C-alpha cells in the first residue's frame, strides 16, 4: 500500500503543477475539517479536572519536555514550501505569507488537539461513530505527508542539478506540463522501493536521523555564509563561527 501510494502521488505530480496544487489543496482542507471536528467533539466530552493539578504526583518536567520533543515533528515539512518558489507568481510576497500562515494555523490547530485529547482522558467516551472520521483524517494526513515530501524532494533534486552538483538530466522540465518529471519519477521510484523493502521501525529511525542531519547542515551553512566572507571576515568572527558550530554539534549529540 505504501509503495502504491507513493507511485500514485508521483503520477499526479508528473501530470501537472496546477493539478498537483488542486489535489493538495482539497485534501488539506478536508484534513483541517477533520481536526476541527476532533476539537469540537472532544471538548464536549472534556473533563477540566484532568488539568488539576497541572503536573500530577509522580510526573516530572522531563516528561513534559519529552512530549514537546515529540510534538516538534509536527512542524517538519514546512521547508518544502520554499522549494516551490519557482512556481509562484510572486515568490517574494507569497512565500513568507504562506509559510508564516501555515505555521500559525498548524500551531493553533495542533495545540487545541493536544489540549482536547488531554481533557478527554480516559480516551473512550462512547462516540463509536467518530472513529471513522478520525480514520479518514489519518489517511488524509498520510497522503498529504507523502505528497509534499515527494514534491519538495523532486524540487531539491532539480535545484542541485541546476547548480551542477548532480547530472543535468534531473533538471529536465516538461514543456507541456512544466514539471521536473525526471526528478519526480526518480524520487518516486526510490521512495517506492524503500517503502516496499524496508521495515517501519527502520524508516522511523531514518526520518529522525535524516531530519537531524538536514537541520544541522542548514544551521552550519547559514553560519558559514554569515560569518565567513572571503577577504573580509575578522578573526573574531571566525572564532564565533567555530563556537557556534561546536554548540550545534553538542546539541545534536
Question: Tell me: the pLDDT tens digits for 61-75?
Answer: 777 777 776 676 667
Predicted pLDDT at 210 = 72
Whether 220 and 194 share a structural domain = no
The pLDDT of residue 29 is above 70 = yes
Predicted pLDDT at 61 = 75
Q: Which of 70-74, 99-103, 111-115 has the lowest mean pLDDT?
A: 70-74
- Retrieve residue 205's grid coordinates: 529511525
Mean pLDDT over residues 20-49, rounded?
86
Whether 54 and 178 share a structural domain = yes
Domain stops at, among 155, 175, 198: 198
Question: Tell me: the pLDDT tens digits for 170-186?
Answer: 888 888 878 888 999 99
Quote the CA–CA distance of 146 and 169 in Å, as a whole number: 24
Whether 120 and 153 share a structural domain = yes
Whether 179 and 236 share a structural domain = no
Whether 194 and 230 share a structural domain = no
Phi and psi torsions of 45, nearest 5°: -110, 15
Whether 175 and 51 share a structural domain = yes
Is the model more confident about 230 or about 38? 38
Quote the CA–CA distance of 80 and 150 in Å, as a whole number: 9
Chain-wide mean pLDDT for the chain?
Answer: 80
Predicted pLDDT at 230 = 61
Confidence of residue 59 (pLDDT cuts 50, 70, 90): low
Whether 213 and 144 share a structural domain = no
Predicted pLDDT at 186 = 92
Domain stops at, among 155, 179, 198: 198
Question: Tell me: the pLDDT tens digits for 220-251?
Answer: 777 777 666 666 667 777 777 778 777 767 76
Alpha carbon 130 to chain centroid, angstroms: 26
Cβ contact 85:91 at 8 Å: yes
Question: Tell me: the pLDDT tens digits for 144-165?
Answer: 888 888 888 888 888 888 888 8
Whether 77 and 180 share a structural domain = yes
Phi and psi torsions of 123, nearest 5°: -70, -30
Instruction: Count structural domains, the chain.
Output: 2
Quote the CA–CA distance of 176 and 15 in Å, as a whole number: 10
The pLDDT of residue 111 is above 70 = yes
The pLDDT of residue 214 is above 80 = no
Domain stops at, among 198, 219, 242: 198
Predicted pLDDT at 123 = 63
Phi and psi torsions of 78, nearest 5°: -65, -25
Quote the CA–CA distance of 194 and 148 in Å, as a whole number: 17
Whether 164 and 235 share a structural domain = no
Whether 120 and 241 share a structural domain = no
Residue carrying C-alpha cell 502521488: 9
Q: Write out the residue range of the structural domain in which residue 242 sits.
A: 201-253
Whether 130 and 218 share a structural domain = no
- Retrieve residue 37's grid coordinates: 471536528
What's the pTM value of the predicted model, to 2 decimals?
0.72
The pLDDT of residue 125 is above 70 = no
User: From its phi and psi, is residue 205 left (phi > 0), alpha (psi between -120 and 50) or beta?
Assistant: alpha
Whether 100 and 179 share a structural domain = yes
Quote the CA–CA distance of 155 and 145 in Å, as a whole number: 16
Q: Where are the alpha helices (DSSP H) in the chain?
A: 2-15, 17-43, 61-71, 91-119, 130-162, 181-197, 200-227, 235-252
Mean pLDDT over residues 12-28, rounded?
85
Quote the CA–CA distance of 202 and 169 in Å, as a whole number: 31
- Retrieve residue 115's grid coordinates: 489540549
Predicted pLDDT at 220 = 75
Q: In degrees, to the nearest 5, what angle opens at C-alpha 172 toward C-alphas 170 and 173?
A: 130
Amino acid at each position: 500500500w505504501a509503495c502504491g501510494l507513493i507511485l500514485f502521488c508521483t503520477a499526479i505530480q508528473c501530470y501537472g503543477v496546477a493539478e498537483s496544487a488542486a489535489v493538495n489543496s482539497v485534501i488539506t482542507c478536508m484534513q483541517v475539517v477533520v481536526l476541527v471536528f476532533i476539537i469540537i467533539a472532544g471538548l464536549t466530552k472534556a473533563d477540566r479536572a484532568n488539568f488539576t493539578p497541572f503536573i500530577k504526583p509522580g510526573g516530572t518536567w522531563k516528561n513534559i519536555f519529552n512530549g514537546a520533543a515529540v510534538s516538534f515533528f509536527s512542524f517538519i515539512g514546512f521547508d518544502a514550501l520554499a522549494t516551490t518558489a519557482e512556481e509562484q507568481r510572486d515568490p517574494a510576497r507569497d512565500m513568507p505569507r504562506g509559510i508564516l500562515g501555515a505555521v500559525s494555523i498548524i500551531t493553533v490547530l495542533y495545540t487545541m488537539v493536544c489540549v482536547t485529547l488531554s481533557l478527554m482522558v480516559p480516551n473512550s467516551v462512547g462516540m463509536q461513530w467518530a472513529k471513522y472520521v478520525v480514520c479518514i483524517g489519518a489517511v488524509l494526513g498520510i497522503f498529504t505527508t507523502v505528497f509534499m515530501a515527494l514534491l519538495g524532494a523532486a524540487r531539491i533534486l532539480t535545484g542541485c542539478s541546476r547548480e551542477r552538483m548532480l547530472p543535468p538530466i534531473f533538471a529536465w522540465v516538461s514543456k507541456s506540463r512544466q514539471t521536473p518529471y525526471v526528478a519526480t519519477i526518480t524520487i518516486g521510484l526510490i521512495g517506492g522501493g524503500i517503502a516496499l523493502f524496508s521495515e517501519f521501525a527502520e524508516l522511523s529511525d531514518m526520518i529522525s536521523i535524516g531530519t537531524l542531519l538536514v537541520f544541522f547542515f542548514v544551521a552550519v551553512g547559514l553560519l558559514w555564509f554569515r560569518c565567513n566572507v572571503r577577504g573580509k571576515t575578522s578573526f573574531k568572527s571566525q572564532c564565533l563561527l567555530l563556537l557556534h558550530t561546536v554548540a550545534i554539534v553538542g546539541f545534536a549529540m
